[in-house]
């Protein structure tokens, strides 16, 4: 199982970086990334609906897919029509948040129309709003790294969080399987160990240094190498946050008593099992990049 995970990670991570680089060369509209994010939002909404269809939860997948993809698409509309959106005081993320607010209104309205008796409405509504936040809002905030610094360094930033978070996952799993004994959070995630936690920090820091200091700057002259110490700090933070993101998805699965969000590929569970650390780390990475850019200015 360890060998299989390492093999798949060695294929998936370079493939994603290749998609990022290709989309970067195609221009600022980022049509390729839009397609990828829409597919992720729809599949993610399906997995969340599958996970949360339990007890009194009755989430509606078509509405969740529409809401999540609308929040994602709004981020692109805000970028494509920045001049018009800006004149009314709404940035690209602001437009996504406005879309999310409308989605909440729609979900409340659906609850009112479908109400028949006490005991289901609030649970279902909470599950649906959580889904749109987890799949739509966190995804579009992470994707906004694509336009950081006017798009000049966007994929340098976006790839950094994907590489750091996923190598953190690989490091945590590898260290845990090889040397882990003492459990990290036994009730919530019995498979995670304290040594695995250190492995997650090490893997994320290593991935961050490799990308930010060596590999990324070789792709284009506009991507300037980071000082190694800043890259290590960035990687450790992303590794820690990504580990928490993994635990947060474990919280969802444990509470609804399901092992995986779905079966996407053997040994990895569903899409959300692959994206949990990236989605949770995305907003933090955005903040760190803004801080680092400010320090350089």
> Would you give per-residue pLDDT tens digits along the chain (297 residues)?
566 666 766 777 778 777 877 887 787 788 899 999 999 999 999 999 999 999 889 999 999 999 999 999 998 887 776 555 544 445 668 889 999 999 999 999 999 999 988 887 999 999 999 999 999 999 999 999 988 887 778 889 999 999 999 999 999 999 999 999 899 999 999 889 999 999 999 999 999 999 999 999 998 888 999 999 999 999 999 999 999 999 999 999 999 988 777 777 666 678 998 899 999 999 999 999 999 988 886
Alpha-carbon distance values, 203 to 94, 157, 181, 249 (Å): 34, 18, 19, 20
How much is the pLDDT for 101?
Answer: 97
Residue closest to 208 by CA, chosen among 157, 145, 164: 164
How much is the pLDDT for 19?
Answer: 83
Residue 296 in tokens: 């350089």
How much is the pLDDT for 218?
Answer: 92
221: which residues sit within 8 A by CB, 6+ positions away?
none
Query: Number of helices and strands (H, E) in the chain?
Result: 12, 2
Q: Where are the domains of the chain?
A: 2-296
Q: What is the pTM of this model?
A: 0.92
How much is the pLDDT for 5?
Answer: 62
How much is the pLDDT for 275?
Answer: 92
* Rounded-to-integer distance, Cα 133 and Cα 126, Å: 11
How much is the pLDDT for 85?
Answer: 52
* Rounded-to-integer distance, Cα 205 and Cα 231, Å: 7
Alpha-carbon distance values, 293 to 68, 144, 164, 208, 236 (Å): 30, 15, 19, 16, 18
* Rounded-to-integer distance, Cα 227 and Cα 216, Å: 13
Residue 172 in contact with residue 208, Cβ under 8 Å?
Answer: no
* Rounded-to-integer distance, Cα 33 and Cα 76, Å: 10
């Amino acid at each position: 199982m360890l060998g299989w995970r390492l093999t798949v990670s060695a294929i998936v991570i370079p493939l994603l970086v290749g998609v990022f680089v290709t989309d970067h060369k195609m221009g600022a509209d980022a049509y390729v990334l839009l397609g990828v994010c829409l597919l992720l939002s729809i599949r993610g909404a399906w997995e969340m609906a599958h996970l949360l269809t339990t007890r009194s939860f009755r989430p509606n997948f078509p509405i969740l897919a529409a809401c999540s993809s609308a929040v994602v698409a709004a981020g692109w509309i805000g970028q494509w029509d920045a001049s018009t959106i800006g004149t009314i005081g709404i940035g690209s993320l602001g437009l996504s948040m406005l879309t999310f607010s409308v989605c909440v209104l729609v979900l409340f309205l659906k609850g009112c129309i479908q109400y028949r008796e006490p005991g289901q409405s609030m649970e279902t509504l909470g599950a649906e709003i959580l889904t749109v936040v987890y799949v739509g809002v966190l995804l579009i905030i992470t994707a906004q790294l694509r336009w950081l610094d006017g798009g000049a360094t966007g994929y340098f930033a976006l790839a950094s969080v994907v590489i750091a978070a996923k190598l953190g996952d690989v490091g945590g799993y590898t260290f845990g399987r090889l040397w882990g004994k003492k459990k990290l959070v036994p009730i919530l995630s019995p498979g995670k160990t304290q040594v695995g936690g250190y492995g997650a920090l090490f893997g994320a820091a290593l991935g961050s240094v490799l990308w930010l200091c060596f590999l990324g700057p070789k792709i284009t002259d506009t991507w300037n190498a980071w000082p190694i110490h800043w890259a290590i700090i960035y990687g450790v933070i992303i590794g820690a946050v990504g580990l928490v993101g993994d635990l947060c998805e474990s919280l969802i699965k444990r509470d609804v008593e399901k092992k995986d969000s779905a079966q996407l590929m053997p040994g990895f569970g569903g899409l959300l099992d692959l994206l949990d650390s990236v989605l949770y780390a995305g907003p933090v990475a955005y903040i760190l990049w803004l801080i680092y850019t400010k320090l350089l200015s």
